[in-house]
Amino acid sequence: MSIAHLVDDDEAIRDALSWLLRSRGISSESWDSAEAFLADYRDGMRGCLILDIRMGAISGPELFAQLRARGCRMPAIFLTGHGDVPQAVDAIKKGAFDFIEKPFNDNELADRVIAAMQADAELFSAAATTAGIEARLALLTTREREVMERVLAGKFNKVIADELNIAMRTVEVHRSRVFEKMGVRSAVDLAQILAQLAKPDQTSS
Amino acid sequence: MSIAHLVDDDEAIRDALSWLLRSRGISSESWDSAEAFLADYRDGMRGCLILDIRMGAISGPELFAQLRARGCRMPAIFLTGHGDVPQAVDAIKKGAFDFIEKPFNDNELADRVIAAMQADAELFSAAATTAGIEARLALLTTREREVMERVLAGKFNKVIADELNIAMRTVEVHRSRVFEKMGVRSAVDLAQILAQLAKPDQTSS
DNA sequence: TTCGCCCCTGCGGAAATCCACAATGGCGTC
DNA sequence: GACGCCATTGTGGATTTCCGCAGGGGCGAA
């Protein structure tokens, strides 16, 4: 279940938003401060963030930055009462999903939240595959990784054997074990799945 | 020589900006409308764009969209007189480099322009390498491309031969010609350079 | 028509990969 | 100490790749 995580120090806004979202079939949870949310935050949370810009000690953008630093990739929608262009520009540049002025149009906001939820779903499925790849990568032994690097550099087993001062046969064994553990059947496949790992694709609006 | 391309219907602004930039060692050229700029626009132009939001028939964002459609990748800085948050958010999401309100701070604006110039330079060098790859790719014949696809799919020459209903020897010939034309020596190398082609890397402020 | 480019094919050999079978030694855990 | 995991190596053979040599047919441009 993915839910909207609402952080705003204004109870009226929290109530209005959670009611609005519920009416669209979106469940939400609320916090009255960034600190409160940070205390509850857990890796792997799903859904989206709806953050007020101005809050107590920690502002929305600051909260967002801290969450990002902690690995959170949930799409964030910022709410602001006073149209601050530089802040909006800055937020979007830093990866915010959207930046909306209060008072907001109910329909529009709900649509944006739904879009954010969808973005999160896509991010999640993308992350699932890369996580799988990384998990397999973690299973490799040191030697296997050394061999893999050189295989990806397009070197012949013979050359790799020389570089590592081991017999060609040993290289072959490592090589095939790498393929096996990574679930691929050729060096080309390996190169391709590793290439997609280093390539996060950006989605917006 | 990279220069700032200034498009604004207000002569006073154009003059002020070009003077400001000149004082920082940045040369610029000015147009008084989007139409005028579009008429002069040529592929391969270098530098950055400084676009007014509100202009005659074609607005800054519209001009930007048209340029992007025509392949222009110059970083664009938008100037706006009235702080319009939704417009700013939209512009940044669509890839604008920056969105600045008038009246602007001279120092800040100059800094942003310099940053945009630098972004353009990075884009250019990145584009140069991908352009090289695409140029080589364009040299391949249809058959060679068909073979290449299947090689990248990790298929054996034998399988490829079956799929294309040609002799294995022919596949080998195409395969080696592909390597030759692409300037690589193994299928792994090929996979890697093609992977980097599909991966534009985003740079912002 | 001649020339160039592309697609196709066969032969044969050198080089590399892939793989099953078989084994040794180190190292840490239970 | 037995067991498991890792790194290492060898033999030998099947499979694949890589490549030079040699040649045929189609097709469009000069």
- pLDDT of the residue at A75: 97
Confidence of residue A204 (pLDDT cuts 50, 70, 90): very low
Structure tokens at B116: 């945009």
Confidence of residue A139 (pLDDT cuts 50, 70, 90): confident
* Nearest alpha carbon to residue B117 among B9, B7, B24, B15: B24
Q: Rounded to an integer, what distance in angstroms lies between the CA atom of residue B141 and that of residue A185?
A: 28
Q: Rounded to an integer, what distance in angstroms lies between the CA atom of residue B188 and that of residue A187?
A: 6
CATH number of the domain bearing residue A146: 1.10.10.10
Please tell me the least confidently modeled range out of A9-13, A63-67, A135-139, A157-161: A135-139
Does residue B200 register a pLDDT over 80? Answer: no
In sequence order, the 6+-apart residues with CB closer than 8 A to the CB of A95 are: A68, A76
- pLDDT of the residue at B193: 87
Q: Are residues B107 and B175 in the same domain?
A: no
User: For B95, left (φ over 0), alpha (ψ -120 to 50), or beta?
Assistant: left
Q: Are residues A95 and A144 in the same domain?
A: no
Q: Are residues A87 and A172 in the same domain?
A: no
Any atom of strand D under 7 A from CB of B156?
yes
Residues in chain B with CB shorter than 8 Å from the CB of A103 are: none
The answer to whether the CB of A57 falls within 8 A of the CB of A34 is yes
Does residue A186 register a pLDDT over 60? Answer: yes
Q: Rounded to an integer, what distance in angstroms lies between the CA atom of residue A124 and that of residue A130?
A: 10
Q: What is the mean pLDDT of residues A84-107?
A: 94
Domain boundary, last residue among B124, B153, B181: B124
Select the residue of B92, B192, B195 nearest A93 (Cβ to Cβ): B92
- pLDDT of the residue at B58: 95
Domain boundary, last residue among B94, B124, B154: B124
> Which DSSP string corresponds to A127-194?
HHHHHHHHHHHHTS-HHHHHHHHHHHTT--HHHHHHHHTS-HHHHHHHHHHHHHHHT-SSHHHHHHHH
Q: Are residues B36 and B92 in the same domain?
A: yes
Q: What is the mean pLDDT of chain B?
A: 91
pLDDT tens for each residue of B63-74:
999 999 999 999
Length B169 CA → D22 C1' (Å): 13
Which residue of chain B is at minimal alpha-carbon distance from A95? B93
Q: Are residues B61 and B150 in the same domain?
A: no
Q: Are residues A106 and A156 in the same domain?
A: no
Length A6 CA → D28 C1' (Å): 68
Nucleotides of C under 7 A from a protein CB: 5-12, 15-20
Q: For the stretch A164-180, what's the b/e string if a residue is b when 16 or more beta carbons lie within 10 angstroms of its beta carbon?
A: eebeeeebeebbebbbe
- pLDDT of the residue at A185: 87
Q: Are residues A109 and A148 in the same domain?
A: no
User: For A59, left (φ over 0), alpha (ψ -120 to 50), or beta?
Assistant: beta
Q: Name the β-bridge partners of A47.
A: A3
Does residue A205 register a pLDDT over 50? Answer: no
User: For A17, left (φ over 0), alpha (ψ -120 to 50), or beta?
Assistant: alpha
pLDDT tens for each residue of B136-190:
888 888 889 999 999 999 899 999 999 999 999 999 999 999 999 898 988 988 8
Q: Are residues A96 and A54 in the same domain?
A: yes
CATH number of the domain bearing residue B57: 3.40.50.2300
Q: What is the mean pLDDT of residues B5-24?
A: 95
* Nearest alpha carbon to residue A20 among A150, A107, A116: A107
Domain-embedded: residue A36: yes
Q: Are residues B78 and B117 in the same domain?
A: yes
Q: Are residues B111 and B169 in the same domain?
A: no
Domain-embedded: residue A169: yes
Domain-embedded: residue B182: yes
| Domain boundaries, position B171 | 140-197
Domain-embedded: residue A92: yes
Q: Are residues B184 and B116 in the same domain?
A: no
Domain-embedded: residue B202: no
Does residue A202 register a pLDDT over 90? Answer: no
Does residue A115 register a pLDDT over 80? Answer: yes
- pLDDT of the residue at A1: 62
The answer to whether the CB of A7 falls within 8 A of the CB of A58 is no
Q: What is the mean pLDDT of residues B27-54?
A: 95
- pLDDT of the residue at A79: 95
Does residue B202 register a pLDDT over 70? Answer: no
Confidence of residue B203 (pLDDT cuts 50, 70, 90): very low
- pLDDT of the residue at B199: 63
Does residue A203 register a pLDDT over 70? Answer: no
Q: What is the mean pLDDT of chain A?
A: 91
Domain-embedded: residue A186: yes
- pLDDT of the residue at B132: 87
Domain boundary, last residue among A73, A98, A127: A127
Whether residue B93 and residue A188 make contact (CB cut-off 8 A), yes or no, is: no
Task: Provide the number of structural domains found in chain A.
Answer: 2
Q: What is the mean pLDDT of residues A86-110?
A: 95
Q: What is the mean pLDDT of residues A176-196?
A: 88
Q: Rounded to an integer, what distance in angstroms lies between the CA atom of residue A95 and that of residue A98?
A: 9
In what order do the strands lie in the sheet containing B76-80?
B28-31, B3-7, B47-52, B76-80, B98-101
Q: Which residue has the tokens 């072959």?
A: A172
Domain-embedded: residue A60: yes
Domain-embedded: residue A133: no
Q: Are residues A145 and A177 in the same domain?
A: yes
Establish, for the pair of chains A and B, how many residue pairs have beta carbons separated by less than 8 Å: 82
Q: Rounded to an integer, what distance in angstroms lies between the CA atom of residue A192 and that of residue A27?
A: 39
Q: For the stretch B92-105, what's the b/e string if a residue is b when 16 or more beta carbons lie within 10 angstroms of its beta carbon?
A: bbeebbbbbbeebe
